[in-house]
Amino acid sequence: MKVRIPQGPSQQEMLRKVQQAQENMEKKQEELNNREFEVTSGGGMVKVTIMGTKEVKAIKIDPSVISNSEEDMEMLEELLIAAVNEAITTVEKTTSDEMGKITGGLNLPGLGF
């Protein structure tokens, strides 16, 4: 008795799909690298604009935050740290989500981003 094993896609077809996924990922990564993300902290008192490459492009500070007191400076420093960290997290999550759409959630070796 012969057992028939169902045939899946050929190796050539699989390779073509992997190459297409890699091309799509490269295009998406370039698109994300050029994208700007804006994040605020302190109820909008500090706004950070960051590129998809995680390069901080701009920081805007509401004038009401700035004074000469040491306490206000500490608060401003904390707001800046919070805004920059949130901006980095936003870029990383967006990149991961967008790449996951292309790969279907598969972890394909050699197609890292």
Question: Distance (Å, rounded) from C-alpha 83 to C-alpha 87?
Answer: 6
Question: Distance (Å, rounded) from C-alpha 14 to C-alpha 19?
Answer: 9
Name the least confident of 15-19, 27-31, 77-81: 15-19
Question: Distance (Å, rounded) from C-alpha 4 to C-alpha 11?
Answer: 19
Using pLDDT thresholds of 50, 70 and 90, give the confidence band for residue 90. Answer: very high
| Residue of 101, 90, 110 whose CA lies nearest to 38 | 90
Using pLDDT thresholds of 50, 70 and 90, give the confidence band for residue 55. Answer: very high
pTM: 0.68
Kindly give, in sequence order, each residue whose CB lies less than 8 Å from that of residue 110, ignoring residues fewer than 6 positions away: 22
Question: Distance (Å, rounded) from C-alpha 113 to C-alpha 80?
Answer: 27
Kindly give, in sequence order, each residue whose CB lies less than 8 Å from that of residue 111, ignoring residues fewer than 6 positions away: 18, 21, 22, 25, 103
Q: Is 74 helix (H, G, I), strand (E, B) or coil?
A: helix
Domains in the chain, please, with CATH?
32-102 (3.30.1310.10)
